[in-house]
Amino acid sequence: MAGRTKQGRKGSPRRWSRDVMARSNALDLEPGIFKKGARAVAASLKRSAERSRRRKSPPYRSAMSMLTFYINRAGGGLSASRRRTLEQAKDELRKLYGRPPKAGSKRKTARSRRPARSRNPAA
């Protein structure tokens, strides 16, 4: 592996995750699915996972894994509202599969957090 750069084989820098989304060996995703609303994303992932014969894990796990992968790889490129929508899609996916909602899935907003303690011991 000596001499290999971060660009990989084809010369496109760090785009392996785009390849995974485009050519996933587990799920055939609808184009633009992650740009839709939470319910539509969840329903499409469920449909894709249940139709797939190439997946190695149960449909729920495959669908949730793909959604989590997308959220994690998009990282800072996601707006706060888009991230919220995709996190809601996780809850919708849980509902579709009859799973309980994740504990603490209602994220606290900045206003509801306690203010940070002062580092100055004299204060």
Per-residue pLDDT tens digits for 75-107: 778 899 999 999 999 999 999 999 988 876 555
pLDDT value of residue 113: 52
**Pick from 11-15, 24-28, 35-39, 50-54: least confident:** 11-15
- Helix/strand/coil (H, E, C) string of 60-110? HHHHHHHHHHHHHHHHHHCCHHHHHHHHHHHHHHHHHCCCCCCCCCCCCCH
> What pTM does this model have?
0.66
How far apart, in whole angstroms, are the C-alpha atoms of residue 109 and residue 9?
A: 43
